[in-house]
Amino acid sequence: RLASPIGLDLGGRTPEETAVSVAAQIVADRWRGSGRPLAELAGPIHHPG
């Protein structure tokens, strides 16, 4: 699927930071991540196997 605009709102300002936000969205979508800060989550931070 295509998504536009792509990337998570990380507050980046540079092209490199934009690339990180795009990569973060790809990983989150691939593994069904919530995109929420880890500090807000309960339980393990890694999904089993």
pLDDT tens figures, 14-43: 999 999 999 999 999 999 888 889 899 888
The enclosing H or E element of 34 equals none
Q: Is the separation of the CB atoms in 24 and 8 below 8 Å? A: yes
Percent of the residues in the chain that have a pLDDT greater than 90, as a whole number: 55
What pLDDT, on a 0 to 100 scale, did the predictor assign at position 38?
Answer: 87
CA distance 28 to 12: 18
Model's pTM, two decimal places? Answer: 0.77
35 Cβ neighbours under 8 A, 6+ residues apart: 8, 28
